Amino acid sequence: MTKFNFRFIFLTLAVFSLSVSQISAEEISLDTLVKKGGPLFVHYCSHCHGIDGDGEGFNADYLDRQPANLTDAEFMAKRKDSRIYRVIKKGGPEVRKSNLMPSFGNTLSDLEIWSLVAFVRTLSGGEIKEIPKELDDKRPEIKKISKKDWDGFNAWKKAGGLDSDAGYGELLVNNKKSCPACHSIEDEGGALGPDLTRAGLLYSPEWLYQWLNNPQAVKPNTKMPDQGLSDKEVKAIISFLTGMVGEDEEEPFRVAKKSDPKNGKKLFFDLEGKAKCAKCHSINQEGGIIGPDLSFVGSSRNESFIIESLLDPSKVLTSGYSTVSVITKDGKFYSGIQKNEKLESFDLIDETGKTNSINRSRVNKFKFADKSLMPENFKTELSEQEISDILSYLKTLKFYTN
């Protein structure tokens, strides 16, 4: 068996090909565990607990309960390693705490969870003491949705399921599961994930079914953990979310009666044309990296969402693509999309595509803005026919899975 080095960093890229393996405690030093836990903490925990673990992450401002201060030595000394492990693996309710702390047992391997425990201990100057003799480095298997599952889902929809389980879904979303930690509904809840106030207008039931069953199957590096939802829970949550349509007083965009997806594709990829979409967005690895990948936007978003994103991009910002503004201690200003977060630094990609690496020790002020980098002049720059053509092309981009 090959000794574990830094393989977990690439787990999300190789999740379909990993085999079961056990790592003995003798093969892993404490220092190695801590080094493994650091990047995981930045990716999954720092938005609430803060990059330093002080409970002051940007998302903490939106929660009705303050995240634990992991730098408090007295507080941490009262918690055994096994308790911290259980909280990470099974969530806050496992230790009779808030449901705002999600469970990661369906997302991370035992090795990764114990690595997080080891790293969290260092935040208060402590050290892990309860390393198990053997650790499984294989992440939980990604749940596959079979044809039978899809047939059952479609039969449930046809029988009126979307209108029958909303009450139970609301209970799950607001009180039982960790959804409010990252998602807001009518200005209540976290700011890490998408606002769900108008989820029914933005996401198709089929996409929600795929995503809720296992987000990692769709987006391996997502911050959203798999909550291990039962089929009944998934359908109930979909029933609730599809009924969330909010209020919209604006006159809807009138899609042209006939649209040309081929012309839409040409407009999308023409970097000398009027739209220049591929400057920021990629499709099947072709295009820019500033904006969201649109390879299967035809499956993941409803027509109304795509139209709104084209005409009023700041109205509903895709998770992870809010503009970040930074002022450094020497008075320099940077703005862009935050990427490649690390303990010591992060990157900001500006609207020209330039990457600025920012050391956290240089930061004086850091702020998320409710504004998209995407141009907001398509209403005047593009004709209704051109917008309709781009829309028709984007709707052809589908996500297929076995």
What is the tens place of the pLDDT at every residue in 184-201? 999 899 989 989 999 998
Q: Determine the average pLDDT of the residues in 228-241.
A: 96
Is 267 in contact with 390 (CB distance < 8 Å)?
yes
Q: Which are the contacts of 261, defined by CB distance < 8 A and separation ≥ 6?
A: 389, 392, 393, 395, 396
The token pair at 252 is: 């809807």
Rg of the chain over CA atoms, in angstroms? 22
d(CA 85, CA 45): 14
Question: Is residue 80 packed enough to be buried (19+ CB in 10 Å), middle (13-18) or exposed (0-12)?
Answer: exposed
Q: Which fold has domain 261-317+375-394?
A: Cytochrome Bc1 Complex; Chain D, domain 2 (1.10.760)
User: What average pLDDT does range 162-189 have in this prediction?
Assistant: 93
CA distance 98 to 288: 40
- 274-289 tens-digit pLDDT: 999 999 999 999 999 8
Would the CA dihedral through 386, 389, 395, 396 be positive or negative?
negative
Helix axes 81-90, 110-122, angle to 10 degrees: 130
Question: The domain at 323-369 falls in which architecture?
Answer: Roll (2.30)
Calculate mean pLDDT across residues 310-333. 86
How would DSSP label each residue in 58-116?
GGGGG-SSPPP-TT-HHHHHTS-HHHHHHHHHH-GGGGT--TTS---TTTS-HHHHHHH
Q: What is the mean pLDDT of residues 82-103?
A: 92
Task: Work out the number of other CB atoms within 10 angstroms of the CB of residue 3.
Answer: 9
How do residues 39-50 score in pLDDT, each as one tens digit?
999 999 999 999
Which range among 6-10, 172-176, 249-253 shows the weakest confidence by mean pLDDT?
A: 6-10
Q: Yes or no: say if 105 and 24 are a contact pair by the CB < 8 Å rule.
A: no
Picking from 80, 95, 74, the residue whose alpha carbon sits closest to that of residue 129 is: 80
240 vs 162, 260, 319, CA distance in Å? 8, 35, 21
The Cα–Cα gap between 35 and 116 comes to 9
Output the CATH code of domain 147-242: 1.10.760.10
CB 123 within 8 A of CB 52: yes
State yes or no: pLDDT of 252 exceeds 90: no
Contact 394, 296 (CB under 8 A): no
Candidate from 123-132, 235-244, 254-263, 310-319 with smallest mean pLDDT? 310-319
Going by CATH, does the domain composed of 7-136 fall within 1.10.760.10?
Answer: yes
Question: Using 50, 70 and 90 to split pLDDT, how confident is the model at 125?
Answer: very high
Which backbone phi and psi does 336 adopt, to 5 degrees? 165, -165
Categorize the per-residue pLDDT at 10 as very low, low, confident or very high, splitting at 50, 70 and 90.
Answer: very low
Of 325 and 318, more confident:
325
For residues 394-398, average pLDDT = 92
Mean pLDDT of 252-267: 87
Q: Cβ(200)–Cβ(391) under 8 Å?
A: no
Measured from the Cβ of residue 19, the count of other Cβ atoms closer than 10 Å reads: 6
How far apart are alpha carbons 207 and 396 in whole angstroms?
15
Q: Where does the chain hold its CATH 1.10.760.10 domain(s)? A: 7-136, 147-242, 261-317+375-394
Residues of the chain with CATH 2.30.30.100: 323-369
Residue 345 predicted with pLDDT over 70: yes
pLDDT confidence bin for 321, thresholds 50/70/90 = confident
Of 54, 70, 181, 186, nearest in space to 120 by CA: 70
Q: How far is CA 97 from CA 32, 131, 146, 345, in A?
A: 30, 24, 35, 32
- H helices of 103-247, in order, are 110-122, 147-158, 166-171, 199-202, 205-213, 215-218, 231-242
